[in-house]
Amino acid sequence: MKSLKIFILIFSLSVTAAKAQFTKAELQVSGLTCALCAKSTEKALRALPFVGDIKTDLIRNTYLITFKNDVPVNFEQISKKVQGSGFSVNSLKATFNFANTKVAENTFNYGGDTYRLLNAADKSFTGDVNFTVVDNGFAPKSVSKKYLGQVTDAAPASGRVYHLAI
């Protein structure tokens, strides 16, 4: 009976102690011309350690990526896999779960990287929030220029700075 109570306590703590993380992303790739191109890109993305599942939409040239729990996501690796397959990222929209995440001055840290919210106006975030990565290489040049035109960032202590728009 004692072990049953301990099990229930541990289980309930693991269910309620949600962790902040990216949960899913919609990746649009430009340059795909056939199903074989899409399949080779999907295979490259599946090799990433943080990718749980991928659903491909050939009509829109998009991949709906579901990320594994408790494994930090690295957008730079996603971009490199797409480029290594001979294509480029047209847009990357990601969902972040803000459980236990502190946002200060429109910035938060995750997985060794810094994320700067460009149009958040000091909002408070809880639960799942959708973002678009607007850095060069993750968005069309016109979108990057619109958001990053006047942005200057200090170099982070580690990792890189990603710029996100809501």
Q: Is 148 part of a structural domain of the chain?
A: yes
Residue 10 resides in a domain:
no
Give SS3 for 137.
coil
Q: What is the CATH number of the domain that holds 36?
A: 3.30.70.100
- Confirm whether 16 is domain-assigned: no
The answer to whether residue 6 sits within a structural domain is: no
Q: Residue 119 falls within a domain, yes or no?
A: yes
Q: How many domains is the chain built from? A: 1
Helix %, strand %, coil % for the chain, to 5? 25, 35, 40
Residue ranges making up the domain that contains 65: 21-165
Determine the average pLDDT of the residues in 117-121.
Answer: 83
State which H helix or E strand residue 142 sits in: helix 141-148
Residue type, position 52, single letter? G
User: Does residue 7 lie in a domain region?
Assistant: no
Give the residue among 47, 49, 140 at the shortest CA–CA distance from 93. Answer: 140
Cα atoms in the 13 Å half-sphere on the side-chain side of 148: 19
Whether 15 is in a domain gets the answer no
pLDDT class of 20 with cuts at 50, 70, 90: low
pLDDT at 12: 36
